[in-house]
């Protein structure tokens, strides 16, 4: 009974991991501060910063006007002067309003005139919550194309905490894609001591020999589920969790595919122009000889995220899709 | 408002019809809220509870071929433009018979044939769009007008600025309004702007502005009429600030503890339906039995709508793939 | 002498082809109108609309305030009402300011609520003109990811004219990427009669048997140059000009690669997240068996476009890069 | 301006130094223009010819640890902040010794150590960034101030609105200015805004505003001082409209035929250097021989700078790859 309690105390949800990372980084480094809509008094639309205003005061937890471009721009300015802003998008979808500041100012300042922009944008993304076309987007594909940005997308509480800390400590602009669907759905033990998950390192979430499923975010859990089912059929999936989308961890990806010779690229982002395309291209370029079959992409169709339940279910990748694709590929 | 002025300026039937729409809006949204609490609604619910006079007032002041880009608390617009309670409830239940066929949810309904633009979550995005519709009318020499809204929160966004400015420079036939309901989600006005009234923003564009009691349907109607007349006469845009109060949470999941109780008490006395009934009584256009009768009637309409919605089919998965591209474009 | 004059009269530059398309479409269809910064009195930064204001008047050639989001939003509104707006970005780079309107409003309106948005955004893009990081961008990669948009990028005067006409007649939002470097550098004969180049159709600009170079925009000419040089070595390049980036003409791409078994994907857009990635992925997916070697991408490195001449020269793909890659691939 | 006031409020040495910087700016930019006409400049050239008093006046009013986000006609800022004529000319020649090492061109120079933000072409983008720098000062309790500019054209952009509003809400120590030089490229004021003065926009934010003779360096200096004192005292932002006239084309390739000759004649009489000389004479701080001496002196500095720039190396191709990401971030 006593040990159970102790263990329970160390088990945290994905959303708690994010709160902890923010709290610990703010306590550790007084340059870290937060900006966003409704993050102060209200504690954020998802309650990630509940209690932060009371703890850190209104100049480190800023409730802002409804103006994403202005907020991100202000974060850039504060970052250049030496602070470490963390901006919350209420939903990742609204990042489109700040697109210009992110791609033209934040991404290019260091390259153009040597000004580092150490800031983080937290973007709660992804579907499965009946959010419809404006509250379910996976906008990461918009940002592959802007050199100077780093993009991360954790799938577990451990990675969520470690990557957010790493992002806050990074001297570059980092977009942190946190998957809303995972917030309260997964839990895991977190170390008590300070730790980071380095940006740019993928993680093999399941070792396997037959097919590499390369994925990130909520889809990691689908891949693990599919792997479970497929063991009975003797198909052994390796699940590579990218964790960082830019810069890509080519080594981990290539060494997995060199071993398995087969790759499934799985994401919740629209198929065309998703990170799956980039990885397929790199495999076809750098790892062509190690491929023993087509590179299969599993991703939603090229449509906005629909609202109604049967539509969203059809839209989102399913465990069954992975199983079917893996069977076909195994037989190739 | 001076009762004599109202008696002179607004036809009896028009006032009675506005009362009917106030009641219908209230009944419909209360029903939606109840369904939400029962877990029967797909997605979130944002209502105009306590603010019904705005949409009912301005939509009643427009002609049928005028165009509306409603804000997200403007349910009355849909009812006045002929969206049936059945269609609307189908939308909230994600049914195929809703105006978006399940592609989008809740108040995100639109229909060019009925002159209503679908709401875009990204607040203020539809303001430049509204200006563009007005530009079309101006280019074609039509005497039609566009009515387009934002909240106090949305008025902080850059698109608000760009829309207002462009409309003023080109003297476009558009009326912009702001429902100033004291809060943007949890954010009070003083954290959004350093001006006492949102209407102060009109001066930056050389645009006339007016403060209107947003809970007084007659006042809203008459102010809208004045602005519409001005727009139709080619004198350009007007900005109307409708003072009101958000009486529920931001959406129905939000208990809105950040709103002082007294403020709600105070505004409860100014309920737009109460105000409308007082007016009708003063004018001897209506009495308690009449109000009772209307209340019963709209209740019936809502229940009939719910029956329709519940019996309607959900869309089927593959419908996801339909409609990304248009095959043709009409003229409206 | 006489025939030479006649011929000369029919030879037009890329930039003239664009002007002609606009002029002819405006003459043909009174719903077509233009909006942009400095396009009226001044005739546009590149003088594409010189004389248009005088010819069509200030309500069909609108000099706008400096506000890309507002302008694009207004075009959306006008398009929905039945007009056919063509918006000029002064440089493609500034399209980042209108990103939200394009991706959230224009791209999604038809899917969400059935409202067609027949508009064109002209985006003068690309480098080679010492424009530096803000006047040389290839932003097409930002838009692959927004279902509902069509993207075209002509490489010749013929395609420039025909695709612009097709774009104006299309019922969907089309981004028309016109390459600034080509404006006055290439000429060709244009038919006197009305013609369009259909959206969604690639064009084999040179038939060859050994390697497919799949490209678009200014790079087409580099590929043709390289092909010329390589003939002497007995390497026979096929040059596929995509012309349309979304929707991709898979048939033409696949049938070329089925023939040659080898593919080079060439673009001026940054390597990561460029259309080359998407095509490589599709080849690896759908055409795996027909590939006889790695899929090679030739594209600039993942950096902003640098300013100084030696830097820009290093950055941009060169004929030599294609030749080297082709030799290697031929020997594979 | 009243000479007695100036004598009292501005030190003799400060005025003489401002005169020197006016002359140096003029000489440097005239040289750049001449080089441009000889085809020796890489890229375009935008000058402050006839508007030099703005940058010289406000930059002289700031303390060394204040920060500037200059507009694109603010050459004086760089000179006052210690950018040598050699560095600046190296920038214009695309040399490695320019502040951006050839990565960016012309006036896009910046250096955090010298408190100058690199200009972003996308007009108004640096306004939220400036607000953010001021936020950093406020958070850290420093008494530093930010000065940030736009043109009449840039004031139409959404980022202008979001920056001004945010700065006002949080009473940030930032001074915003607009160089109202009557045109945005070819676009006259009446096509940009429906207000007589850009300063009318300040009221929309609850921000004090002032109209200043932008050609009178003493007036600019004193107005800037007042706003700076206010900002330093924690009273929040001010908006300054500097009335002036663009005396050259938008950039040096633009003959600006759209500007009425009479307007230029009229403003020529108000040339800021002429005005400054009149003032210095009235105050008996300077006479013709002195002016001649300064003119000669700055000419020498420009020529020395040109020699440095011409002897400087161009960057080498592979330097393209450097600097996309920062290795560390400093505090400023
Ligand atoms: C651009 C953008 N950012 C954030 C949001 C999330 N959001 C939805 S409603 C809302 C508050 C809106 O306040 P207001 O404009 O005052 O309208 P109200 O709901 O009070 O009527 C917020 C922040 C959004 N919809 N759009
Ligand atoms: C967002 C954006 N759109 C378009 C341009 C192209 N452009 C560069 S300067 C300019 C006019 C600027 O006018 P103004 O702000 O008045 O400044 P001025 O040049 O007159 O000092 C334009 C349209 C730009 N730089 N940024
Ligand atoms: Mg509100
Ligand atoms: Mg100007």
SS3 per-residue string spanning A13-58: EHHHHHHHHHHHHHHHCCCEEEEECCCCCCCCCCCCCCCHHHHHCC
Whether D203 lines ligand 2, by a CB cut-off of 6 Å, is no
Contacts of B141 (CB under 8 A, 6+ apart): none
Identify the burial level of C319 via C-beta atoms within 10 angstroms of its C-beta, where 0-12 means exposed, 13-18 middle and 19 or more buried: middle
SS3 per-residue string spanning D1-26: CCHHHHHHHCCHHHHHHHHHHHHHHH
Residue-range domains of chain B with CATH:
3-312 (3.40.50.970)
Residues C180 and C87 in one domain: yes
Residue at A4 is within a domain: no
Residues written for chain B: 332
Residue at A127 is within a domain: yes
CB contact under 8 A, B132 and C110: no
Which residue is closest to C115 within chain B, CA to CA? B112
Which of C110, C135, C179, C267 is flagged as catalytic? C135
Bridge partners of B225, per DSSP, are: none
Interface of D with A in 64-103 (CB under 8 A): 67, 99-100, 103
From atom 13 of ligand 2, which residue's Cα is the shortest distance away?
Answer: D184
**What is the CB-side half-sphere exposure of residue D145 using CA atoms within 13 A?**
26
CATH number of the structural domain spanning residue A141: 3.40.50.970
- Assigned token pair, C4: 């030479």
Instruction: Please check whether residue D116 is in contact with residue D122, taking contact to mean a CB–CB distance below 8 angstroms.
Output: no
Residue at A222 is within a domain: yes
Q: Is A83 on the interface with D (CB under 8 A)?
A: yes
Instruction: Please check whether residue C307 is in contact with residue D102, taking contact to mean a CB–CB distance below 8 angstroms.
Output: yes
- Assigned token pair, B264: 């709600």
Ligand in closest contact with the CA of D48: 2
Radius of gyration of chain C (CA): 20
What does the pLDDT average to over A120-146? 96
Ligand in closest contact with the CA of B160: 1
Whether D179 lines ligand 2, by a CB cut-off of 6 Å, is yes
Interface of B with A in 177-216 (CB under 8 A): 184-187, 191-193
The total of structural domains in chain A comes to 2
Q: What is the rounded CA–CA span in Å between residue A302 and residue A267? A: 13
Ligand in closest contact with the CA of D181: 4
Bridge partners of C187, per DSSP, are: C13
Closest CA to D57 of D205, D235, D244, D283: D244
Bridge partners of C238, per DSSP, are: C212
- Assigned token pair, B79: 């009812």
Residue at C3 is within a domain: no
What does the pLDDT average to over A310-326? 98
Bridge partners of A266, per DSSP, are: A298
Residues C186 and C208 in one domain: no
Whether B149 lines ligand 1, by a CB cut-off of 6 Å, is no
* Per-residue burial over D301-315, b = 16 or more CB atoms within 10 Å of its CB, e = otherwise: bbeebbebbeebebb
Identify the burial level of A192 via C-beta atoms within 10 angstroms of its C-beta, where 0-12 means exposed, 13-18 middle and 19 or more buried: exposed
CA distance to partner chain C, nearest, from residue A178 (Å): 19
Q: What is the rounded CA–CA span in Å between residue D164 and residue D149? A: 11
State which H helix or E strand residue C238 sits in.
strand C237-241
Which residue is closest to D156 within chain B, CA to CA? B162
Residues C65 and C86 in one domain: yes
Whether B199 lines ligand 1, by a CB cut-off of 6 Å, is no
Ligand in closest contact with the CA of C67: 2
Whether B154 lines ligand 1, by a CB cut-off of 6 Å, is yes
Identify the burial level of A3 via C-beta atoms within 10 angstroms of its C-beta, where 0-12 means exposed, 13-18 middle and 19 or more buried: exposed
From the alpha carbon of B125, which atom of ligand 1 is closest? 1
Closest CA to A272 of C318, C245, D247, D259: C245
In tens, the pLDDT along A102-125 reads 999 999 999 999 999 999 999 999
pLDDT confidence of residue C179: 98
Give the count of beta carbons closer than 10 Å to the beta carbon of residue B208. Answer: 18
Q: Which of D153, D192, D251 to mutate to test the pocket of ligand 2 (most atoms within 8 A of CB)?
A: D153
Residues C44 and C144 in one domain: yes
Average pLDDT, chain A: 96
Please determine, for residue C9, whether its predicted confidence score (pLDDT) is greater than 80. Answer: no
Please determine, for residue A265, whether its predicted confidence score (pLDDT) is greater than 60. Answer: yes
Q: Which residues of B touch A42 (CB under 8 A)?
A: 185-187, 258
Q: What is the rounded CA–CA span in Å between residue C38 and residue D233? A: 42
Average pLDDT, chain C: 96
In tens, the pLDDT along B18-59 reads 999 999 999 999 999 999 999 999 999 999 999 999 999 999
Q: How confident is the model at residue A2 (pLDDT cuts 50, 70, 90)?
A: very low
pLDDT confidence of residue D1: 75
Below-50 pLDDT ranges, chain D? none
In tens, the pLDDT along C259-278 reads 999 999 999 999 999 999 99
Residue at A83 is within a domain: yes
CB contact under 8 A, B103 and C112: yes
Whether D98 lines ligand 2, by a CB cut-off of 6 Å, is no
Q: What is the rounded CA–CA span in Å between residue C195 and residue A156? A: 56
Last residue of a domain, one of A131, A155, A190: A190
pLDDT confidence of residue B99: 97
Q: What is the rounded CA–CA span in Å between residue C201 and residue C215? A: 13
pLDDT confidence of residue D323: 98
Contacts of D243 (CB under 8 A, 6+ apart): D180, D211, D212, D213, D214, D215
CA of C184 to the centre of ligand 4 (A): 29
CB contact under 8 A, B201 and D204: yes
Last residue of a domain, one of C140, C155, C190: C190
pLDDT confidence of residue C1: 36
Instruction: Please check whether residue B61 is in contact with residue B225, taking contact to mean a CB–CB distance below 8 angstroms.
Output: yes
Residues A42 and A104 in one domain: yes
pLDDT confidence of residue C124: 98
Q: Which of A44, A64, A90, A124 to mutate to test the pocket of ligand 1 (most atoms within 8 A of CB)?
A: A90
In tens, the pLDDT along C105-161 reads 999 999 999 999 999 999 999 999 999 999 999 999 999 989 999 999 999 999 999
CA of B74 to the centre of ligand 1 (A): 14
Residue at A179 is within a domain: yes
Give the count of beta carbons closer than 10 Å to the beta carbon of residue A20. Answer: 17
Name which of A139, A284, A302 is nearest C147 (Cβ-Cβ). Answer: A302
Total CB pairs under 8 A between chain C and D: 116
DSSP symbols for A236-262: -EEEEE--EEES--HHHHHHHHHHHS-
Identify the burial level of D288 via C-beta atoms within 10 angstroms of its C-beta, where 0-12 means exposed, 13-18 middle and 19 or more buried: exposed
Q: Which residues of C touch A269 (CB under 8 A)?
A: 145
Name which of B111, B130, B133 is nearest C113 (Cβ-Cβ). Answer: B111
Which of A110, A130, A135, A179 is flagged as catalytic? A135
pLDDT-above-70 percentage for chain A: 97
pLDDT confidence of residue B124: 98
| Residue B198 vs residues A164, B175, D269: alpha-carbon distances, Å | 38, 15, 42
Which residue is closest to C65 within chain D, CA to CA? D192
Residue at A181 is within a domain: yes
Please determine, for residue B112, whether its predicted confidence score (pLDDT) is greater than 50. Answer: yes
Please determine, for residue A7, whether its predicted confidence score (pLDDT) is greater than 90. Answer: no
Q: What is the rounded CA–CA span in Å between residue C27 and residue C39? A: 17
Residue at C4 is within a domain: no
Q: Which chains touch B (3 or more CB pairs under 8 A)?
A: A, C, D
Whether A97 lines ligand 1, by a CB cut-off of 6 Å, is yes
Give the count of beta carbons closer than 10 Å to the beta carbon of residue C105. Answer: 31
Give the count of beta carbons closer than 10 Å to the beta carbon of residue D260. Answer: 10
Total CB pairs under 8 A between chain B and C: 159
Residues C159 and C273 in one domain: no
C237: containing domain: 203-330
* Per-residue burial over B132-156, b = 16 or more CB atoms within 10 Å of its CB, e = otherwise: bbbbbbbbbeeebbbbbbbbbbbbb
In tens, the pLDDT along B8-18 reads 999 999 999 99
Last residue of a domain, one of A190, A216, A241: A190
pLDDT confidence of residue A4: 45
Q: Hunting for tokens 């900002």 — which residue is that?
A: D231
pLDDT confidence of residue C4: 44
Residues C25 and C163 in one domain: yes
Whether D246 lines ligand 2, by a CB cut-off of 6 Å, is yes
Residues C174 and C39 in one domain: yes
From atom 6 of ligand 2, which residue's Cα is the shortest distance away?
Answer: C90
Q: What is the rounded CA–CA span in Å between residue C112 and residue C98? A: 20
Residues A131 and A98 in one domain: yes
Q: What is the rounded CA–CA span in Å between residue C53 and residue C40? A: 5
Q: Is A301 on the interface with B (CB under 8 A)?
A: yes
What does the pLDDT average to over A56-75? 98
Classified as helix, coil or strand, B186 is coil
What does the pLDDT average to over A285-293? 91
Residues A167 and A316 in one domain: no
Whether residue A179 lies in the annotated active site: no
DSSP symbols for D209-244: EEEEETT-HHHHHHHHHHHHHHHHTT---EEEEEE-
Whether B248 lines ligand 1, by a CB cut-off of 6 Å, is no
CATH number of the structural domain spanning residue A214: 3.40.50.920
Q: Which chains touch A (3 or more CB pairs under 8 A)?
A: B, C, D
Instruction: Please check whether residue B302 is in contact with residue B31, taking contact to mean a CB–CB distance below 8 angstroms.
Output: yes
Residue spans of alpha helices (H) in chain C: 2-10, 14-28, 52-56, 68-81, 99-100, 109-113, 157-169, 219-231, 250-260, 275-286, 309-315, 319-330
What does the pLDDT average to over B80-102? 98
Residue spans of alpha helices (H) in B141-270: 158-169, 217-232, 261-268
Residues A70 and A170 in one domain: yes
Which residue is closest to B189 within chain D, CA to CA? D169
What does the pLDDT average to over B90-106? 98
Which residue is closest to B113 within chain C, CA to CA? C115
Q: Is C274 on the interface with A (CB under 8 A)?
A: yes
From the alpha carbon of B123, which atom of ligand 1 is closest? 26
Q: Which residues of A touch B122 (CB under 8 A)?
A: 93-94, 96-97, 134
Residues C109 and C54 in one domain: yes
């Amino acid at each position: 009974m006593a040990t159970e309690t102790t263990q329970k105390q160390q088990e945290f949800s994905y959303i708690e991991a994010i709160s902890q990372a923010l709290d610990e980084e703010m306590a550790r480094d007084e340059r870290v501060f937060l900006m966003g809509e409704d993050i102060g008094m209200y504690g954020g639309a998802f309650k990630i910063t509940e209690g932060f205003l009371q703890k850190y005061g209104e100049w480190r937890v800023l409730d802002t006007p409804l103006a994403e471009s202005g907020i991100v721009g202000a974060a850039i300015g504060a970052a250049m002067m030496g602070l470490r802003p963390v901006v919350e998008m209420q939903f990742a979808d609204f990042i489109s309003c700040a697109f210009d500041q992110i791609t033209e100012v934040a991404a290019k300042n260091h390259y153009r005139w040597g000004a580092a922009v150490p800031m983080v944008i937290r973007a709660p993304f992804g579907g499965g919550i009946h959010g419809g076309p404006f509250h379910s987007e996976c906008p990461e594909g918009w940002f592959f194309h802007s050199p100077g940005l780093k993009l991360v997308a954790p799938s577990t509480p451990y990675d969520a905490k470690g990557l957010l800390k790493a992002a806050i400590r990074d001297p570059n602009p980092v977009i942190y894609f946190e998957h809303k669907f995972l917030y309260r759905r997964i839990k895991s033990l977190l170390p008590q001591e300070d730790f980071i998950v380095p940006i740019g390192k993928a993680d093999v979430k399941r070792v396997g020999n037959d097919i590499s499923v390369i994925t990130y975010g909520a889809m990691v859990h689908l891949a693990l589920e599919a792997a479970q089912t497929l063991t009975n059929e003797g198909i052994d999936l390796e699940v590579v969790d990218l964790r960082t989308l830019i810069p890509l961890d080519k080594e981990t990806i290539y060494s997995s595919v060199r071993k398995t010779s087969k790759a499934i690229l799985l994401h919740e982002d629209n198929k065309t122009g998703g990170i799956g395309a980039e990885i397929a291209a790199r495999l076809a370029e750098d790892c062509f000889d190690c491929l023993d079959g087509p590179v299969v992409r599993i991703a939603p169709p090229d449509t906005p995220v629909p609202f109604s339940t049967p539509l969203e279910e059809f839209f989102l990748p399913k465990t069954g899709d992975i199983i079917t694709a893996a069977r076909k590929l195994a037989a190739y | 408002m001076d009762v004599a002025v109202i008696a002179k300026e607004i036809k009896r039937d028009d006032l009675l019809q506005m009362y009917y729409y106030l009641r219908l809006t209230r009944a419909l949204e209360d029903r939606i809220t109840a369904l939400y609490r029962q877990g029967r609604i797909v997605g979130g619910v944002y209502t105009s509870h306590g603010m019904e006079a705005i949409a009912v007032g301005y939509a009643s002041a427009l002609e049928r071929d005028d165009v509306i880009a409603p804000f997200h608390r403007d349910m009355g617009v849909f009812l006045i433009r002929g969206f049936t309670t059945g269609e609307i409830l189908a939308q909230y239940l994600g049914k195929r018979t809703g105006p978006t066929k399940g592609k989008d949810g809740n108040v995100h309904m639109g229909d060019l044939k009925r002159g209503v633009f679908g709401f875009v979550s990204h607040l203020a995005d539809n303001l430049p769009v509204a200006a563009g519709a007005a530009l079309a009318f101006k280019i074609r020499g039509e005497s039609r007008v566009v009515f387009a809204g934002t909240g106090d929160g949305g008025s902080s966004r850059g698109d608000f600025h760009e829309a207002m400015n462009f409309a003023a420079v080109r003297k476009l036939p558009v009326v912009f309004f702001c429902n100033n309901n004291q809060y943007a989600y949890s954010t009070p006005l003083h954290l959004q702007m350093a001006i006492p009234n949102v209407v102060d923003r009109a001066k930056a564009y050389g645009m006339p502005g007016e403060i209107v009691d947003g809970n007084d349907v007659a006042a809203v109607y008459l102010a809208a009429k004045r602005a519409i007349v001005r727009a139709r006469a080619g004198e350009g845009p007007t900005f109307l600030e409708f003072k009101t109060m958000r009486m529920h949470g931001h959406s129905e999941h939000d208990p809105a503890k950040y709103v002082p109780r007294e403020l709600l008490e105070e505004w409860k006395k100014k309920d737009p339906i109460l105000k409308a009934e007082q007016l009708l009584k003063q004018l001897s256009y209506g009495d308690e039995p009449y109000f009772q009768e209307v209340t019963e009637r709209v209740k019936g309409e809502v229940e009939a709508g719910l029956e329709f919605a519940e019996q309607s089919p959900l869309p089927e998965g593959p419908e996801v793939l339909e409609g990304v591209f248009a095959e043709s474009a009409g003229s409206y």
